[in-house]
Structures are given as structure tokens and as C-alpha cells.
Amino acid sequence: MATTDKTQQDAEKLAAAQAAVKFVKDGDVVGLGTGSTTTFAIIELGKLVKTGLQIKAAASSIRTEELAKSLGIEILDLGRLSQIDISIDGADEFTASLDLIKGGGGALFREKIIASLSKNAIIITDASKKVKELGAFTVPVEVVPLAYQYVFDQITKLSGKGILRTVESQTFITDNGNVIIDADFGLIDDPAKLASDLNQINGLLAHGLFVNMTSKVIMSDGADIIIFE
Ligand SMILES: O=C(CO)[C@H](O)[C@H](O)COP(=O)(O)O
């Protein structure tokens, strides 16, 4: 049963993170996601590194990179990697068929590159992220600023209601210097079709629908670890 209690949710995030880091082996190149759940995993990895685990990592955001470095995890240049052994990231929603919405933290573009490079793309979540159908959470869309109105209008043509993301009344700017449109498509019957339609839009750098990109979701519901694969 999903909870909204933060302490309980944090306990679930930690449990999922601890289960996920067990899949990391000596010598691995590890892709690190962004967000509160992934933060638990990065801290667990930092502890393992201090006790001798040898890994190198690629980060999906500046804040993840800073955290990882502060814990003694060596960071590689994501743009120079052809493959990542294992990645650990969070999600805003997931279904039993491993379709995801990501990008609540605004790191979706680099997260998608990491997932694309990963042999083993692991998503960790608390129980609140499991849904029957995606779409209660809006789909984040990263847009090159000069294409903003064009992309916004294309999203409207796909029956999406877009809102420019702001933080404290200021336009949110991604680590890549772009803006985010949070697009409400209602419940999404066919995530693969919507993902493909969004992929056709020029000026749209990345969207938060992750379809066929995940090896397993490790979810904690507080009592048990449940693995979807
Ligand atoms: O996609 C993401 C960031 O771009 C995060 O993984 C997603 O928003 C979940 O975050 P949290 O673990 O804080 O709930």
C-alpha cells in the first residue's frame, strides 16, 4: 500500500537503494541518476567505495556529480562513454511493464543517455511510484529555448496541456541550458506511441517517457523488496 508519510517513504527509498547497490560489482562503470531516491543509492555506494569497492561513475546532473565526488566516487565524462555496466536511477511513475515517467528533477536528458548506454538499467522506487497506467504525473519535456513556442504548439496538437516549468517564479533552466515543459496528456494508453510522436518534434531534446529502457525496477513497500523485470 503506497504511503504519503515522508519517513516511511524515505525508509522505502533507502531499502530499494540498498537492494540495488548489491548488483554493483568491482570494476563496474556505474551510471548515477538524480533525485532523492538515487541520493540514497549514491550514499550507499560511497560507503562501499570507502571499504574497497572499485568503481567509476557517470553522473546525470551537476548535483549528482558533486555528491558522488564528495563521497570519493570517481566521475567519468559521460560524453566519452560507449557503455555503462549498470545504472541506478529513480522514477516519478512506473508500470509493471517497466514503462516510466522520469524528469521530475529536470535531469531527464542525461538520465536518458545513461539509460541508453546501460547494460543493466535499474530503477529504484518507493511504493508510491507504481501505477496501472502512466499519466497522473505530467510528462517533462526538455526544449531548446528558441524552439519553445514551436514545441509547445506541437504538444498541444498531440492533445497535451503544457506548462513551462518554473521554480520560485523563475523559469527552470536545466543543466544543459534548456527549459522544461511539463505536459499533461491525461492517462497514457500507449506510451510507446506517445514517445514516438514526441520524438518527431524538432527542438525537443528529450521527454520523460522511458519505454523499453529499463532492465528492472526495485521497489520497496516498507515490508518487502519487490523486483519487476
Ligand atoms: O527523473 C528524475 C530526475 O530527473 C528522478 O529520478 C525522479 O524525479 C524521481 O525523483 P525522486 O527520487 O526524488 O522521487
66, 124: one domain: yes
Is the residue at 1 inside a domain? no
Count the domains in the chain: 2
Q: Ligand 1 within 6 A of 104 CB? A: yes
Q: What is the CATH number of the domain that holds 26?
A: 3.40.50.1360
| Contact status, residue 220 vs residue 130, Cβ threshold 8 Å | no
- Picking from 58, 127, 128, 136, the residue whose alpha carbon sits closest to that of residue 101 is 136
- Chunked into runs of 10 residues, the chain (229 residues) has average pLDDT values of 81 98 98 98 98 98 98 98 98 98 98 98 98 98 98 98 98 98 98 98 98 98 97
Q: Name the residue range of residue 194's domain.
A: 139-207
117, 156: one domain: no
The single residue listed with the C-alpha cell 517517457 is 209
Annotated binding-site members for substrate? 34-37, 89-92, 102-105, 129
Q: What is the largest CA-CA distance in the chain?
A: 54
ipTM for the whole complex:
0.99
107, 145: one domain: no
**Whole-number pLDDT of residue 99:** 98
Q: Ligand 1 within 6 A of 126 CB? A: no
Q: Ligand 1 centre and the CA of 17: distance in Å? A: 13
Is the residue at 35 inside a domain? yes
Q: Ligand 1 within 6 A of 135 CB? A: no
18, 102: one domain: yes
CA–CA separation, 191 and 170 (whole Å): 30
Q: What is the CATH number of the domain that holds 179?
A: 3.30.70.260
Is the residue at 83 inside a domain? yes
Residues designated catalytic: 111
**Whole-number pLDDT of residue 222:** 93
Q: Cell for 182?
A: 511539463
Nearest CA to ligand 1 atom 7: 91
